[in-house]
Copies of this chain bind each other. A is one copy, B any other.
Amino acid sequence: MSAAGRPAPTDRSAPADRSARTGRAAPVARTAPADPAAASDATGSSRPRLDDLIQAERDIVARLDEVGIDADLDAFSVISNIYRAATAIRRHMETRVLAPEQLSWTAFVTLWVLWIWDEMEARHLAAEAGITKGTLTGVLDTLERRGLVTRRRHDDDRRLLSVRLTDDGQALLARIYPAFNAEEAAVADLVSDADRASVVTGLRDIVRGLPDLDDT
């Protein structure tokens, strides 16, 4: 990673003191988010240790406290960790399993849903894949161009569109899904046995409850 000609130290950064800006003295010493030495990219600071993650969350509250805002740390932890985990997983899957096949996460999910349910009307497919119909149109364009799916208009109701995998698409899924699922297992194994059930039910509660929260 770093070897010969020597980098260019660069990290004389570290968020310095902002007290002048906020007009308040900083009551607690906060650790800078920094990240000396090479972050591969976007992973949110390379190789975080557990302490770092927790410390970072504490820093947030300290900072918010400075500005006189009483934020709900637990809530923040829940939401931020869900989102971080999700993007980390997506990226992991994309680079490890999907990239060799030139597939994006969404393209894969779409193919996978079709693989499971064999044939589907567009709006259901969009819902199952978790994207809007507008997005699905573009995704299908890509997949169709690559010969992985086919579109077919219904004869009795010409508004409807049925989508299904081609043989190539079917073969592709049969080839990569085992690897995908194995990788899923590896990720899930990062969670302790004690926590796993709670993680699943907790997240399910959110998925189930959010629509109701949407229109309040």
A89 touches B95 (CB 8 A): no
Q: When the two chains form their complex, are residues B13 and A121 in contact, meaning their CB atoms are under 8 A apart?
A: yes
Copies of this chain present: 2
Within 8 A of B (CB), among A180-215: 181-182, 184-192, 194-196, 198-214
Given A130-B42, A207-B84; A92-B214 close (CB under 8 Å): yes
Residue on B with the closest CB to A16?
B119
Q: Which residues of B contact A121 (CB under 8 A)?
A: 13
| Interface pair B202/A196, CB less than 8 Å apart | yes
Contact B16 A95 (CB under 8 A): no
Q: Determine the main DSSP class of A at the interface with B.
A: helix
Indicate if the CB atoms of A127 and B45 lie closer than 8 Å.
Answer: yes
Contacts A34-B124, A35-B127, A124-B13 hold; do A199 and B78 have CB atoms under 8 A apart? yes
Q: How many residues of A contact B (CB 8 A)?
A: 106
CB distance from A183 to the nearest CB of B (A): 8
Instruction: Give Cα A199–Cα B1 distance, bound, in whole angstroms.
Output: 35
Known interface pairs A15-B119, A124-B35; A181-B132 also in contact (CB < 8 Å) = no
List of B residues within 8 angstroms of A184 by Cβ: 72, 75-76, 78-79
A171 in the interface (beta carbon within 8 A) = no
For this complex, 16 residue pairs linking A to B, each with C-beta atoms less than 8 Å apart, are A33-B117, A35-B124, A41-B133, A45-B127, A47-B212, A77-B200, A78-B184, A78-B187, A78-B199, A85-B86, A88-B207, A92-B214, A187-B213, A190-B213, A195-B199, A198-B198
Q: A-B pairs with the 3 shortest C-beta distances?
A: A86-B86, A198-B198, A81-B203
